[in-house]
């Protein structure tokens, strides 16, 4: 089985939705090992989810993932991103019942400078959703 290592650059999408062109095509049966943890953008937060065992590893993974994202978004050095994270983050536990535990690291966008995560995809999806009548 072919295994592809992939860590998306700041302007690339790890997953594609809604007609966005894929970064790279892979054959069925290929294992894709992403070198990042799930990153989410909500109206109010940037969010990274880490899953692992034991629970402290899940928390650590989500924290390290957010440090990397802050570095990517704002061009910060690692220790500067870590300092920013330590003063702005929230870390609710997300899942403690399955085989792996999940921890979430959230940073309120109101505490950050404006940024365009994933090329402004969140804003674009919000604008598109607003045009759909119910």
Contacts of 59 (CB under 8 A, 6+ apart): 50, 91, 93, 103, 105
Please give the residue range of the domain that contains residue 13: 1-35
- Whether the predicted pLDDT of 1 surpasses 50: no
Position 12 pLDDT exceeds 60? no
Q: Is there a domain that residue 15 lies in?
A: yes
Same domain for 66 and 106?
Answer: yes
Question: Residue 43 has which token pair?
Answer: 């109206």
Q: Domain tally for the chain? A: 2
pLDDT surpassing 60 at residue 44: yes
Structure tokens at 122: 């969140």
Residues 6+ apart with CB under 8 A from 93: 55, 59, 101, 102, 103, 104
SS3 126: helix
In this structure, are 50 and 103 located in the same domain? yes
89 and 106 within one domain: yes
Question: Is residue 102 included in any domain, yes or no?
Answer: yes
Asked if residue 69 and residue 7 are part of one domain, the reply reads no
Q: What is the pLDDT of residues 72-120, one digit of tens each?
A: 899 999 999 999 999 999 998 878 887 888 999 999 999 999 998 888 8
């Amino acid at each position: 089985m072919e295994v592809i290592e992939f860590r998306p650059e700041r302007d690339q999408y790890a997953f594609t939705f809604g007609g966005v062109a894929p970064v790279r095509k892979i054959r069925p049966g290929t294992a894709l090992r992403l070198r990042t943890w799930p990153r989410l953008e909500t109206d109010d937060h940037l969010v990274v989810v880490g899953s692992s065992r034991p629970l402290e590893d899940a928390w650590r993974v989500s924290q390290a993932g957010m440090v990397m994202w802050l570095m990517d978004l704002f061009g910060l050095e690692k220790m500067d991103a870590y300092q920013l994270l330590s003063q702005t983050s929230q870390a609710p536990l997300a899942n403690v019942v399955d085989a792996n535990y999940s921890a979430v690291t959230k940073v309120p966008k109101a505490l950050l400078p404006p940024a365009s995560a994933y090329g402004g995809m969140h804003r674009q999806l919000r604008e598109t959703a607003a045009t759909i009548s119910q």
